[in-house]
Amino acid sequence: MLSPPLHSGAGAGSGVRPLNIVIIGGGISGLAAAYRIRRAVPDAAITLLEADDRVGGKVRTERADGFTLEAGPNGFLDSKSSTIQLCRDLGLGERLRVASEGSRKNRYLFLNGELQKLPGDPLGLLRTPLLTFRGKLAMLAEPFRRRPGRLPDEESVAEFSRRRFGREAADTFVDALVTGIHAGDPERLSVRAAFPRLVKLEAEAGSVLRGFLRAAKVKKRLARERGEVSQPQRMWSFDGGLGVLIEALRDSLGPIVQTGIGVRSVVRAEAGYIVRGDGNDRWPADVVVHAAPASAQAETLRDLDPSLAAELATVKFTPVHVVLLGYRAEDAPLAPDGFGYIAPQNTRRDVLGVQWCSAIFPGRAPPGMVLWRALCGGINRPDVAAWPDGELVAAVHREMQLAMKVTAAPVFARVVRWPQAIPQYEVGHMARLERLDALAARHPGLILAGNSHRGIALNDCTEQAEWIALRVAGIAGK
């Protein structure tokens, strides 16, 4: 029985007893929330319960045979400041490493049996063989295309991009973007939920391209005012991988974090909630931050509110498995200085894309070796996700022979399976969020968090932690 006693006395936030906060799920969402809440409400009693025997969730770095292996995310962007700021607050600022310049500039598609470089700027767009002359014209006409007066509440990513950029660009570039980030289907994903910035740019500037150019100008001006040089968007990690961030969070939180504890249910108590684990374990809580995936939120909140649980259960996930392969450099004649390639889902290949890990962050492979990782599965290839490890490795190696011209078998292979890798924000997700907000509002102190709701990037999870801390501080009367 691990439960701290629920102190008697005045209600939560009165200052008589500390606020009891239970966070469910120790992925980056739960860990960052715990860290931010502790800073905002230092006298709160916080407990973080994680079902697994390790924290980090999808963020997992392993080391084997001299390779540094990322099982989940590879890095985070500086398009938002929340993750970089979290790293700095944890004292990790000096250890941050930016991805190689080549990986920022050189990204490819695998189309028609060969790697084709993605254009990196407007001139590249004019020259790219990936679009016909008509396709280029349609794309370049985007700033002059008016936004229709009446639009459906939620357009799909494909509808939005066809409307703005034309069919060819939508099929080529937008499918690749969706494959690379969501492993999802552009016809089904909601543009407002999955790519809110595109919708905002169109609404504010009348055009996505014009909006981007304006935002770049503002960024440059602000940098100049600070006496800095404006940098393009870059990706970050650590020499030791993203596990460094997770270890620092875990060390900083100390005994707040309890692993190996799967929450079974959350029920109402006289004041607040009781969080139940296996057996007789119970934790009283004034505030519950539920940062597990929506499927687990649904299961554990069923007793509390069947309608809320039913709504949460409608979030779909797609499986993605990560196949990490190490090759001898001499067997990998095409080892470009770049990020990797995407095989758009509409090509239905066995591999969704490949990241050249040791080119993105040098030091990920031992000397004389390269480390690549392939992502397999996604919304359109659940059949591939069902293949056993050996078959996955063989399929990815075959693909490496074709796309990367490798001449020998890999010397290292590791498969990491994520059956529920990425929540799919399909059309209707925004309406679901509204319903979820209304249902959750019936339960004061219950906060739904995690990547199933308002963003899947690490930045979204760490930014969410900041507003959760503000909300909890409000409950605590800080």
Ligand X SMILES: Cc1cc2nc3c(=O)[nH]c(=O)nc-3n(C[C@H](O)[C@H](O)[C@H](O)COP(=O)(O)OP(=O)(O)OC[C@H]3O[C@@H](n4cnc5c(N)ncnc54)[C@H](O)[C@@H]3O)c2cc1C
Report d(CA 194, CA 278) in Å as an integer.
35
Map residues 71-90 to x or -, x wherever contact with ligand X holds by CB under 6 A: -xxxxx--------------
Among 119, 196, 240, 262, binds ligand X (CB under 6 A): 262
Q: Among 451, 454, 468, 476, which residue sits at the site for ligand X (rule: CB under 6 A)?
A: 451
Number of residues that bind ligand X (CB under 6 A): 37
Q: Does 439 bind ligand X (CB under 6 A)?
A: no
Q: How far is the CB of 99 from ligand X (least distance, A)?
A: 10
Of residues 297-326, which lie at the interface with ligand X (CB under 6 A)?
300, 320, 322
Restricting to residues 98-127, name those near ligand X by CB under 6 A.
none
The amino acid that residue 282 corresponds to is R
Q: Which is nearer to ligand X, 98 or 141 (CB)?
A: 98
Query: Do 427 and 189 meet the contact criterion of CB atoms below 8 Å apart?
Result: yes
Does 25 sit near ligand X (CB under 6 A)? yes
Instruction: Check residue 421 for interaction with ligand X (CB under 6 A).
Output: yes
Considering the complex, state which of residue 131 and residue 469 has its C-beta at the smaller distance from ligand X.
469
Query: Which of 126, 149, 127 has its CA nearest to residue 139?
Result: 126
**Within 10 A of 371 (CB to CB), how many other CB atoms are there?**
27
Q: Is 62 in the site for ligand X (CB under 6 A)?
A: no
Burial of 252 (0-12, 13-18, 19+ CB in 10 A): middle
**Nearest distance from residue 195's CB to ligand X, in Å?**
14
CB of 415 to ligand X, least distance (A): 12
CB 125 within 8 A of CB 119: yes
DSSP sequence for 22-81: EEE--BHHHHHHHHHHHHHSTT-EEEEEESSSSSBTT--EEEETTEEEESS---EESSSS
- Dihedral (Cα; 449, 452, 453, 459), 10-degree rounding: 80
Site string (272-301) toward ligand X, x via CB under 6 A: -------------------xxx--x---x-
Closest-CA residue to 361 (of 4, 76, 136)? 76
Q: What is the distance between the alpha carbons of residues 133 and 126, in angstroms, rounded to a whole number? A: 9
Decide: residue 413, CB within 10 A, 0-12 exposed, 13-18 middle, 19+ buried. middle
Binding mask 179-218 for ligand X (x = CB under 6 A): ----------------------------------------
Site string for ligand X, 31-50 (x = CB under 6 A): ------------------xx
418 binds ligand X (CB under 6 A): yes
CB proximity list for 68: less than 8 A, separation 6 or greater: 61, 62, 239, 240, 241, 363, 364, 371
Applying CB under 6 A, does 52 fall inside the site for ligand X? yes
Residues that bind ligand X (CB under 6 A): 24-30, 49-52, 57-59, 72-76, 262-263, 291-293, 296, 300, 320, 322, 418, 421-422, 450-451, 456-458, 461
